[in-house]
Amino acid sequence: MLPPSVQQQERNVVKVEERHAFVLTANGNPVLYIQNLQGDWAERPLSPTSDSTVCYVDTLEGRWVNRFYAFPSCRGRVLIPDMERAVDSLLEETNRRLPDILRHQRDVIRKKEKKYSQLTDELDYYLEANNVTDEGYNTIATYATYALRYRQRLRQALHVLDSLLPTDTLHISRIHHHTLLLPHSSTLSEESKRSSDSTTLRVSCHDDGPQKPGQAYRRIQADNRETPQGAFARFFAKPSLNETSFPTSHELPEFVYTGEMKNGKREGHGMYIDREGCYYNGQWENGKRNGFGCDVDSAGRVRVGEWKDDRFLGQRLTYTEERIYGIDISRYQHDIGKKHYAINWPQVRISHLGTISKKKVHGTVDYPVSFCFIKVTEGITIRNNYFASDYASARKQGIRVGCYHFFSTKSSASEQAQFFIRNARFSKGDMPPVLDVEPTDAQIRAMGGAEAMFNRIRVWMKAVEKHCGQKPILYVGQNFVNKYLVNAPDIKRDYQVWIARYGEYKPDVRLAFWQLCPDGRVKGIVGTVDINVFNGYRDQYDDFLERYTIK
């Protein structure tokens, strides 16, 4: 018999898609599908069901082959390298140590699930405080969908592993499925063509008989039992196949970057994601984050805004009439120099957001005042004589009112709380009370340090909460947050924060309100006024009122 010509050898080759994964069975029943056994399973897709996202996809090079020697008997049969042999030793070792491996993988998955729970919580917080009009919102929403699905898979896998019993008979094996990838010009029946897409004919396959021990190849057959016209099937049962040319494991890269490059460095727009879930989608310059970008770091922090040389500057808000604005006032809105001024409450509207920092404003600044915090007391002796009239007038105009106390470092926290309670008002629907904390570094040292200060803050907060039934809000400056608040995680966790930051960027922490300028202008009020913005939009504000106002 003459050897096949070059043309016949080319027509002998066929592309085969192999989808493969590993399955954990308990008492013979499949309970968990794993993409790859090597490394930590949490790095790979996991699922209690055999769906396509778990399978790894390889493209193999197969050969058309006849079943019988010297007799045309192809009928869609193909020989492919047998990848099963390449993982036999891995499966044998895995099954030998399976109980220990499962315990280890369960611990790894539990840690990963906890991390992604924290991450999705941060992503939800960002999405609740922003909407589609904010730059970067859609990018974060897309990533949040991915993170949520990944967390759900981890939870499902963890539930399976936690449900296994010591009496279960456990085993891991490899599963696979093959599909012929034929050029559209292949001549098949009309029914077969209708079942494929317009660019590639995909023909599902099954194993053609049991695999013989020691064989380096596997014989499969098209489910439709058709051989395309022009295909050349060899008349040997054992053609030479190079099994080592196909990967037996799929190592995850340290990171994946898709985007523009220049001189070997990231430049322009690109997306980066690594094994730890660190993610950045935005502008790059000379290999560093520069310009606008959306970032999620290894700690789960979500940062959307402007970057400079890999340092996050902050989120620059666009101020529109859709946002919720408010003011805070004291006697200084009445007593300016030696003159006294009344507030014309029916005219009160925000007309300017100050000039201390740049602000991106869409349209004209003419915003209603949705809330107003009024100073009541300071320390244990100072009272705002205008509080009662301003409180009544603001409520009459339908403005949500809240009371605040200026914290003194020189008097007892419990005495300050009682002094505030005696002079404040807590009517149904009012905003939560506020503790205004603005000590200098020297004052904090004189108190005995940050921990002593936070202990006094806790005393004030608990006393006021007990009286009015709502947790107070903590008002602090950005520098206080950066330097001191990190030392009081319970306060950050248990109380809402109102932050004063007069730069162009929004504070990079969780907060309820942001005091964005001290030099705003309000119709009906003489002089400058502190302008504040709620961290969210109407739906989130309505939820805040429902949950946190005085009952």
CA-to-CA separations, 53 to 46, 74, 366, 494, 531, in angstroms, rounded: 8, 32, 51, 40, 50
Nearest Cα residue to 226 out of 187, 198, 179, 196: 187
- φ, ψ for residue 320, nearest 5 deg: -135, 170
| Residues sharing a CB contact under 8 Å with residue 549, sequence separation 6 or more, in sequence order | 400, 428, 429, 430, 431, 432, 470
Instruction: Provide the 8-state DSSP code for 472.
Output: P
| Residues β-bridged to residue 473 | 434
User: Could you give the CA distance from residue 258 to residue 434 in angstroms, rounded to a whole number?
Assistant: 47
- φ, ψ for residue 113, nearest 5 deg: -65, -40
Q: Pick the catalytic residue: 438, 539, 542, 543? A: 438
Q: Pick the catalytic residue: 328, 430, 436, 530? A: 328
**What's the distance, Cα to Cα, between the start and end of the chain in Å?**
96
Q: Catalytic residue at 328?
A: yes
Quote the tokens at residue 125.
Answer: 């917080």
Q: Which amino acid is at 16?
A: V
| Residues sharing a CB contact under 8 Å with residue 483, sequence separation 6 or more, in sequence order | none
Q: Catalytic residue at 438?
A: yes
Q: At what angle do helices 413-423 and 450-468 cross, to 10 degrees?
A: 30
310: left (phi over 0), alpha (psi -120 to 50) or beta: left
Quote the tokens at residue 401.
Answer: 């009112």
| Residues β-bridged to residue 375 | 404
CA-to-CA separations, 54 to 34, 42, 49, 86, 114, in angstroms, rounded: 6, 12, 9, 20, 21
> Please, what's the b/e burial string for 306-338 (b: 16 or more CB within 10 A of its CB; e: otherwise)?
bbeeeebebbbbebeeebbbbbbbbbebbeeee
User: Could you give the CA distance from residue 219 to residue 211 in angstroms, rounded to a whole number?
Assistant: 8
Torsion of CA 359, 296, 478, 549, to 10 degrees: 90
Instruction: Provide the 8-state DSSP code for 234.
Output: B
Other beta carbons within 10 Å of 123: 22
Other beta carbons within 10 Å of 477: 16
Quote the tokens at residue 152.
Answer: 């759900």
- The catalytic residue positions are 328, 438
